[in-house]
Amino acid sequence: MESVIFSNNISFDLSKYLNQMGYSQLGVISDSNTAKFCYPIIGSLLPENHKHFSFPAGEVNKNLTTCTQIWQWMTDVGFDRKALIINLGGGVTGDMGGFCAATYKRGIRFINIPTTLLSQVDASVGGKLGIDFNGFKNHIGVFTQPELVLISEIFLETLPLEELRSGYAEVLKHGLIQNADYFSCLKINSWEKQNWREIIEKSVQIKREVVEKDPKENGLRKILNFGHTIGHAFESFYLDSEKHLLHGEAIAVGMICEAYLSHKKSGLPKDDLKTITEALTEIYGIFKFPETDIDGIIQLCSQDKKNEGSTVNFSLLRRIGNCDYNITANTAEIKEAITYYQTLSSQVPLNQ
């Protein structure tokens, strides 16, 4: 597993670990937002001859076109196999920057410095790297561990509130799949008033415990995908539209839909379904979309990476804090779950 450092002093810790690692050249990969708000925090700590590549922010740019630009940049500046990359940014930067480093010259070392709540509690830990392909989320990728993950809540101060809220969806997911007490302690009405250091450390601990038991997602690690089969489908379907969803917003939709599937297929108690639905809609509201979009969203579920052949596999809850995996659902069942979510806007009682 990667080494995760929770830093109280990013200047001291980054300088310390760079001095220990040894490298021929140093490069920083960021998106345009991180280049503006986060790169100045660490730029002066790096050797003067370091190189910096920035790409336009947004999930829509997490693709092979941008990868080609990154690989060309690495080639043009002459990075050899002893070069070191720092991925400074959110999940998109960590996923894509790590993927490019892991494949350049068959792999060079990289460090992740996650700058969003989402990437600190989820994307930076576990060695999953990848990019989107032809509208399919994280369709191309590899498993490669970073040399180091350096987490500092100082970067959260650079985030707009909606990005912080997006990341909180993964925090809630960690409680739902693995720790009911953790979920019950998380703030719903005043979610933004957290001890973020404690929250991040607890979520990273939960995720690492799962990943260490199943590094390549052959079994248990699949529970980390709760909410993601349908959630990714929503995110991908609306990626290029005016109704674009942030990752956490889409996962919140997916978790409500998959909680409904859990109630139908895994015995999740009705009261737990009600608790999950109310908690998530309190924070994220209800995303409204036309019924005519549902078939297209379901079609995207068929490309989820947990699937086997033509069967759509889900990770579903038995109860809050207990998740199972490899549970199949057919198209009619998925449609029923999405319809359940859609009816929330008219406040239909939970009496199924």
Residue 89: CA atoms inside 13 Å, Cβ hemisphere, count? 29
Q: Is 170 a catalytic residue?
A: yes
The pLDDT tens digits for 265-320 are 999 999 999 999 999 999 999 999 999 999 999 999 987 656 565 678 999 999 99
- Which pLDDT value is given to residue 350? 46
d(CA 210, CA 224): 8
Least confident window among 88-92, 147-151, 226-230, 342-346 = 342-346
Tokens 């076109």 belong to: 65
Question: Do 306 and 315 meet the contact criterion of CB atoms below 8 Å apart?
Answer: yes
Phi-psi category of residue 348: left, alpha or beta, with phi > 0 → left and psi -120 to 50 → alpha: beta
CA atoms of 159 and 151, how far apart (whole Å)? 15
pLDDT single digits (tens) 13-66: 999 999 999 999 999 999 999 999 999 999 988 999 999 999 999 999 999 999
What pLDDT is attached to residue 348?
47
pLDDT the model gives residue 67: 98
Quick one: average pLDDT of 77-91? 97
**Residue from 48, 49, 106, 218 carrying the catalytic annotation:** 106
The whole-angstrom separation of Cα 155 and Cα 42 is 11
Residue 220 reports pLDDT greater than 50: yes
- Alpha helix ranges (H) inside the chain: 10-21, 32-37, 39-43, 64-76, 91-103, 117-118, 161-178, 180-185, 196-213, 228-237, 247-265, 270-284, 294-301, 331-343
106 is catalytic: yes
- Domain annotation for the chain: domains and CATH numbers: 3-158 (3.40.50.1970), 163-346 (1.20.1090.10)
Active site residue 198: no
Averaged pLDDT for residues 223-249? 95
* Beta strands 322-329 and 312-319, pairing class: antiparallel
Identify the H or E element spanning 294: helix 294-301
Structure tokens at 66: 């941008």
User: Is 225 one of the annotated active-site residues of the chain?
Assistant: yes
Q: Could you confirm whether 128 is annotated as catalytic?
A: yes
Q: What is the mean pLDDT of residues 55-82?
A: 97
CB-based contact 62:95 (threshold 8 Å): yes
Q: Reply yes or no on whether 263 is catalytic.
A: no
The whole-number pLDDT of residue 2 equals: 64
139 is catalytic: no
Radius of gyration of the chain (CA): 20
Active site residue 221: yes
Strand partners, 196: none
**In the annotation, is 244 catalytic?**
no
What gap in Å lies between CA 204 and CA 182, rounded to an integer? 13
Q: Is 282 a catalytic residue?
A: no
State the pLDDT confidence band at 234, using cuts at 50, 70 and 90: very high
Q: Catalytic pick from 51, 62, 174, 221?
A: 221
345 band by pLDDT with thresholds 50, 70 and 90: confident
